[in-house]
Amino acid sequence: MKETNKRYIGELLINRMNSLGLSVEVLSDKSFVDKELLINILNNRVSFDEIAYWDIDFISQCLYCSPEFFINEEERKRDVIYSTGQNNHKVATVMGKLQQFTNDFEFIQSLAIEHSVKSI
């Protein structure tokens, strides 16, 4: 009997790849994730929970999002590429890089605050 509570992310993954103009081959090369695994994810043969943490993390980094993007609607709403429906590959890539920079900067600031260092 097939489990009905499995979370498949194939459609979200292909949409994100299309937004950034990435093929399976390019994403595989950039993320170091096996091409066959990517194809299985895209075809909903592997659920989110069956994907190794490192694989989904590397995939997400290449797509300028967090792993939670694929399973949390609120996370998608906060995502600048997703929320704007951006389809221009170059614009989406710049937006993704800016979003990633902002997230990294906020993380560094939180560490500075936590360790009582002056704000950056």
pTM of the predicted model, to two decimals?
Answer: 0.78
Reading the block at residue 63, the tokens are 């797509």
Maximal C-alpha separation, the chain: 57
Percentage of residues in the chain with pLDDT exceeding 70? 92
For each of the domains in the chain, give its residue range(s) and CATH number, in order of start: 10-114 (1.10.260.40)
Please tell me whether residue 75 adopts helix, strand or coil conformation. Answer: helix
Tell me the C-alpha distance between 115 and 111, whole Å.
6
What are 70-101's pLDDT values in tens digits? 999 999 999 988 878 767 788 788 788 878 88
Are 31 and 61 contacting, i.e. CB atoms less than 8 angstroms apart?
Answer: yes
Burial (Cβ within 10 Å: 0-12, 13-18, ≥19) of residue 19 = buried
